[in-house]
Amino acid sequence: MLILGIESSCDETAAAVVRDGRDVLSNVIASQDELHIEYGGVVPEIASRAHVERIEPVLRQAMSDAGAALSDLDAIAVTNRPGLIGSLLVGVAAAKALAWSLDIPLLGVDHVRAHLIAGALERDDPVFPALGLVVSGGHTSIYHLNSWLDLTRLGATIDDAIGEAYDKVASMLGLPYPGGPRLDALATKGDDSAYAFPVSLLGADSLDFSFSGLKTAVLYTARGTPTRVNGVTRFERDHTNLTELEKANIAASFQKAATQAALAKLRRALEKNKETGETGVSPVYRTLVVGGGVSANSRLRRELPTLAREYELELRLPRMRYCMDNAAMIAALGARQLAAGLTDSLTLQASPTTALS
């Protein structure tokens, strides 16, 4: 079974051909970083125009890399939520046109759910139930998964997503967009105990996240205490006043707090289900699945295996190339939807929000 996946929810135009929901025959990603760098973030109007220009060459490349003809395809899977609406519409329109002209099923895929399946690409499915964590630029959420299609959200960020916090802190330190990977690299050169930044755990039982307090603590450390003069907020200094070592120390201390927040909530979810018996491991979960751009983070990738071992869970981390937005994960989830008969009609709508509440 051959599925063409299409992804255009933010600033990557991507297409991939995936066989049997796991074997990636092609994975083409056209990044728009160079178009947004001067604005320090994604400009929605620029993103959707760039998708229009790139979608056709990206689709052609994905088909030719896979050595497949359009007539070989069994279905078209496309991200239809969540994301920037103008960007989503480009992928959805292309997918509808292909599905209609080839007379094959159309599958609308939720981008956040698809991040969770990235760790199953090119591998067999893990054993369920699984505990899932999505850490991306738009989402930070924990899920209970009975299968790839049957999942419940246990918690989510109440303010910034973890990737968003990475990008904002990177910008405070003068690093160019997208700052997450650069901040990660800088953190490896610093001392993570140089600053005691807060790890927000919210209420004692909460599985929600909050990164705004951490972000503000870093802001005040990097730029000094703000004052308001005539309604304008002024800081004592900016990143140009920081030495390279100070920047690296701030990056390392932030990285420690941000990743500790994610790990602490996973631990809390696992503790809630802990057996009182001898084993001390969760009787509920067999697997830990993690996905999203921040699953590429070096510290998270170093610490997650320890947590998984402690709770006797199989850890499913995506390969580096499947952490960031890609269409292979969209095709993979589409394959499960097709097998379950969950196809969509040509009236499929794009939506800025996730279907998971």
* Interacting residue with ligand KG4 among 86, 91, 180, 334 (CB under 6 A): 180
For residue 13, state whether it binds ligand KG4 (rule: CB under 6 A).
no
Measured on CA atoms in the order 36, 39, 43, 48, is the torsion positive or negative?
Answer: negative
Q: Which SS3 state, helix, strand or coil, does residue 286 take?
A: coil
Compute the least distance from the CB of residue 14 to ligand KG4, in Å: 10
* Window contacting Zn ion (CB under 5 A); options: 243-251, 297-305, 320-328, 334-342: 320-328
Collect all residues with Cβ–Cβ distance below 8 Å to 306 and sequence separation of at least 6: none
Q: Would you state the structure tokens that stand for residue 64, as one six-digit string?
A: 């030719």
Radius of gyration of the chain (CA): 21
Which residue's CB is nearer to ligand KG4, number 263 or number 270? 263
For residue 167, state whether it binds ligand KG4 (rule: CB under 6 A).
yes
Which residue's CB is nearer to Zn ion, number 54 or number 139? 139
d(CA 54, CA 247): 37
In the list Zn ion, ligand KG4, none, the entry touching 184 (Cβ below 5 to 8 angstroms by class) is ligand KG4
* Interacting residue with ligand KG4 among 126, 155, 163, 318 (CB under 6 A): 163
Which residue's CB is nearer to ligand KG4, number 108 or number 137? 137
Residue 98 backbone phi and psi in degrees, to 5 = -70, -45
Q: Would you state the structure tokens that stand for residue 97, as one six-digit string?
A: 């046109």
For residue 294, state whether it binds ligand KG4 (rule: CB under 6 A).
yes
For residue 164, state whether it binds Zn ion (rule: CB under 5 A).
no
Which residue's CB is nearer to ligand KG4, number 91 or number 105? 91
**Range 321-350, binding Zn ion (CB under 5 A):** 325
**Range 131-160, binding Zn ion (CB under 5 A):** 136
Q: Which of 356, 353, 334, 316 is nearest to 151 (CA)?
A: 356
Q: Is 202 left (phi over 0), alpha (psi -120 to 50) or beta?
A: left
Which residue's CB is nearer to Zn ion, number 141 or number 210? 141
For residue 129, state whether it binds ligand KG4 (rule: CB under 6 A).
no
Collect all residues with Cβ–Cβ distance below 8 Å to 38 and sequence separation of at least 6: none
d(CA 209, CA 292): 16
Residues making contact with ligand KG4 (CB under 6 A): 10, 136-138, 163, 166-167, 178-181, 184, 292-294, 296-297, 324-325
